[in-house]
Structure 1
């Protein structure tokens, strides 16, 4: 703040100087014009001859004072000097004479800068030029006095302004110093929000943004810690099984027993691979603290591709997998929405895989994509005629690693958790209900409702 202030101060003095020159010149210009007007009364032309007869009072107007010198000149037609200084400079040649109008100009007489008042007079048919000049001593003196009157207070005010600015800034920055000390004193693992009670109003938005960043960072770190803990927990069992079966195979001498151990190793490795893939899918779905990259896509087309890819798996399990839709000519409807195609495919694949796994041989799985014509809500439904999930456990199965008892199906307990996480990322709602309320088994219908665009 001091740098521009010190730069503007000389500019202020220069502008004050020019203004002072104009202020000082105006009263002296009026006085010089008045003196010229008085002297014009003594110019006459009796009998056609121009004359200039000064009285004692008129000579007082031309008397030099202690500060300035006064020059005058009276010029008759033809350029003849009737009275005054013969070397007085003439007006500009391209200037058009305007009789009776007093004009002013700056000029030089005998090396002195002067202010000149001049006028053309008509005496009969003759045009007479009369000029009066005054040196600029009094004008410069008055301008200097004005500058002194401005500069002296500024020399006093400027240091006071600097002091006040300094004190104000020190007082204003003190809360920032306190905030800096509070932030530096925090422990590296302390991600709690910064207290905003005593924060200056000017930096409150910055502190709020930092708190938002800390909240997102804390959520991201918690997600990473949970992922690492879940991965370690879930991989411990299949890896321990692999090691045990490998040790058994080493001790067995019978080829049939060795073959059985190898089969167990293959099943354990398959289970471990499935668990790893599910964990990675869950990690991709948990985008807390990061913006989800989205694009415009057709939900019906995306679901159709996932169902087509799942047909071999359904045939392997003896499940009748079908795709239902509402559209003419057996064509799926257009369900345009904004979303992440990779995550939406992962969500649909988990719903279809869960339905195939838990329905069992001879079961039926139907996938539907619907659109409400009034609200514009897109709906994804996956329905099966398997054992279903009890109403008391439907909220629990949305949590990672929770599995309903009595299903006798290998799994990691992550499928519906992944579905729930991806749905939340797309502002969608997951609902579960009995597919066939009056039948046994009742089956399960999982519905994902997306908000309209």
Structure 2
């Protein structure tokens, strides 16, 4: 758990730092790209303007004032000499009617001023082009020329500039990301060591945590953890003292009280007295059962007793040990109690697991009417071992199944004299074994099926 938290802190810090670093690198690349692309575009435009000015020198005005355009073969060859881009031109007379060149080029309008090149984007033969228009005096009036070129050289140079801008960003970014990630890992290593040290401990080990060479920022955490360990140790000692005292002060007198009541029942001959003694005996049995359940609940809590260490065991074997105790009770209550026991090896506390089974059987026999059936099953698969106690009694409504797992919770109108601790004890025991407790309906949606799943298979015992 703590290791996950430290990893999460590392990711959280990385998610804060790395986007900022990435944004700075991308901004740097964008600035570098813009600073390089704009001068390049201006140089291309200036070169086009030089060619357009040279083309404008080929206008001629005859004696009648009509404007013509005569392009020499050498000049035309120069326009076609570009190996990458296509070049088109169009010449326009004083009425801005095309008199020579590409029919797909149009005069851009009144936006062109004499002596100032006008650059614009257009399309020629469905190809995007960059164009320049210049206006020139042709006699008393103005004429103009438009030169357009495709964008292959520009696109290639832009891609080269993009690559030259992004490659350093990628390299620097990768190195920076790695340095940030491993730097965060190095800075958080004391927390990782602390988490591993605590993770290796059993719930009963409450000695102070020792973390050597811890930075100042981690020392308060270590101090707080050690203070908590001390408080837990003191609470555990007080609880153990209570358990020892309660076991002696409650169970022994109650067992003696039951024996005396049973002896009194045998000696008295008065039916009324025997009935009252029977009621007292039933109350004593319930009190003894409550005392045992309270002790079981305390024992099931983490770190409650060093005698509950997890050892290799088998649910089927533990269930078999309960047969002689619970079958006579079932026969006395007129209930068919069956055992379907498959091997279910695991590492667990035999005492607590046996207590869980006993509580489930007690609940089933308590609430199933005469003539009913109760079945205890055990088994295992590749992932987990499991235990089921199924009955055909009144069951528990789905909306109440989570509530009955709470301590001292009983359904309204429930028969019997239970205290509401049975399933709470089972839940504590299952959680102590990192398992799951599932409540569902029995066969044909009748009764109750309580299933325990524990994912700690002792493969050596299979």
TM-score scaled to structure 1, two decimals?
0.45
* Structure with more relative contact order (C-alpha pairs < 8 Å, separation 6 or more): 2
TM-score, normalisation: structure 2:
0.44
Q: Greater Rg, structure 1 or structure 2?
A: 1
